[in-house]
Structure 1
Amino acid sequence: MTPAREDAVITWTEPDPVPLRGTLVVLPGRGESAPIYERFGRRLAADAYRVHVLGTAPSDSPERAHEQLAEIIETADVGTPRIVVGSDAGAAYAAHLAAQGKLTGVAALVLAGLPVAAAAAPARDWDDELDARTFCSTHRGRISAAGVRPAELFTDLPAAWFDPAVPAGVDLPVLGLHGRDDDISPVAEARAWYAATPRAELVTIAGGRHDVLNDQTHRTVAATVVLFLERLRGSSALTPIAVTEALGDPR
């Protein structure tokens, strides 16, 4: 991990001498700081994917976040896929940029806990916010220790990010990850958004809350991301690699 100033990008790198398999750029959600993605970064880096987490959340400064994102994509290895990962507002902003054609060089999107409306959920106290975000005790401890600014999850987002034309305008492969128990962005609403996106697939997480990348099922979520990335490397059509066979009656 390479930390620097407060708004700097944090990076987890692939183990030497394992060849790089791809570059991920994570756009944090409302109120989030980059270090809370350490588990995700380390786990993906162990599989030889370089992970950068923006120091500026799009909800804080879309312009600065886009600037940081563009710098990373421009300098990343062009011989391997470059993928944008967004959580919460970061997911909405990533989709907005893709629909505007502003993600040149990006091979795919991974969208986690995608909000589908500019209006935020009703405000809650800190204990209720923790419950809305995660049931993982480790993640709760991390975000309680200054990893998240309280109450920012309940702030509205720019209406332009939620233009009805956005889903159909995202011309990239999209992996959606969404907690089935997410009451900040209900999964039924997210499902309709993904259904309108030409190249999207949605994976819902049983018992998952809003911070689906860092929730108690973070290992399963990380594995799901790796499976998607490996399919992306193998074929632009995302041809399955591991195929579940339909078994006949054993009798």
Structure 2
Amino acid sequence: MPFLDHPRGRAYYRHWAAEQPRAAVIFLHGFGEHTGLYHRYGFALNAAGIDLWAVDQFGHGLSPGDRGDFGTIEDSSALADALTELAADRHPRVPLVAQGHSFGAVVTLFRVLAHPQAYRAAVVSGAPVVAVPALRDANTTFDLDPALLSADPFYVDSLINDPLAFVGADGVALVRELDRGWDRFGAELPGLTVPTLAVHGSNDMIAPVGAVRAYAEQIDALRFVEFAGARHDILNEVQHRDVAAAVVGFIADQLG
């Protein structure tokens, strides 16, 4: 089993390898998820000649840590750094794309703002780019209804029955780190220069779509694609094939 070394422990990762990759995506999942929920997304990218590298973040999947506790944005970023090094070593001349979902999207935006030269492009989904009132109470234990996340019965069944997935956990650490992101984005996100695609569901009850749409209207580097009726976990929604196609098309555009 492949693991990344980190001072907090060894983090498990997966690599979906294309036969002759033309790009490699470095992916960070969101709260309650793990890399095993992204097989069909990985296969969709592989079919388009794109590698997918993804890590179980701390407190998730097969990586150590208290349930739901990512640690800090810097901890997650260090895992993405390690994945990036692996991908670059495997195929030194293949362009790299940073991607994140939900909390992973927050970390991904931090990364491309701080190091715009590291990636050819970025992709974010279900990105909570402004404060979400329901997440402001750091003393609340999250207990989400899986139906709020996706209408895809296959994926909802995975959330309910997969022992590595969950919809409830202590949210103190998550809200603390989201607050850091929200404080920074208002001042710095308009300066985004890395070509970035934001895919978002119109019926996202976790991270409302309006904030991402508004940022996209202000930021030349930010391309926005909204999917009607889709919920928060858009990469695992009923429209997952269309979402993957949008990502593949965007990456192809950036490769020229």
TM range (shorter): 0.7 to 0.9
Measured after TM superposition, the shift of residue 64 of structure 1 is 3.2
State the partner residue of 2:83: 72
8 Å contact 1:118–1:157 — kept in the other structure? no
State the partner residue of 2:102: 88
The secondary structure found in structure 1 opposite 2:52 is strand
8 Å contact 2:132–2:207 — kept in the other structure? no
Matches within 5 A, 1:84-233: 84-101=98-115, 104-119=117-132, 121=134, 129-144=145-160, 145-152=162-169, 155-158=174-177, 159-162=179-182, 163=184, 164-233=186-255
1:55 aligns with 2:56: yes
Identical positions, percent: 24
Count of residue correspondences: 228
> Could you list the runs of 5+ residues in structure 1 that have no partner in the other structure?
235-251
1:231 and 1:44 map into 2 onto residues whose CA distance is: 15
* Residues 138-177 of structure 1: CA deviation (Å, up to 9, x unaligned): 1111122134222249652422212112312321001010
RMSD: 2.5
- Paired residue type of 2:187: A
Measured after TM superposition, the shift of residue 212 of structure 1 is 0.5
Measured after TM superposition, the shift of residue 186 of structure 1 is 1.1
Distance change in 2, residues 1:153/1:81 (3 Å): farther
8 Å contact 1:89–1:157 — kept in the other structure? no
8 Å contact 1:73–1:106 — kept in the other structure? no
* Structure 1 length-normalised TM: 0.81
1:131 and 1:100 map into 2 onto residues whose CA distance is: 35
* Residues 111-156 of structure 1: CA deviation (Å, up to 9, x unaligned): 1000023446367985x62111000001111122134222249652
Distance change in 2, residues 1:147/1:120 (3 Å): farther
- Paired residue type of 2:181: W
* Structure 2 length-normalised TM: 0.80
> Could you list the runs of 5+ residues in structure 2 that have no partner in the other structure?
5-9, 60-68
Which structure has the greater CA radius of gyration? 1
8 Å contact 1:120–1:157 — kept in the other structure? no
Measured after TM superposition, the shift of residue 40 of structure 1 is 0.6
The secondary structure found in structure 1 opposite 2:119 is coil
8 Å contact 2:76–2:107 — kept in the other structure? no
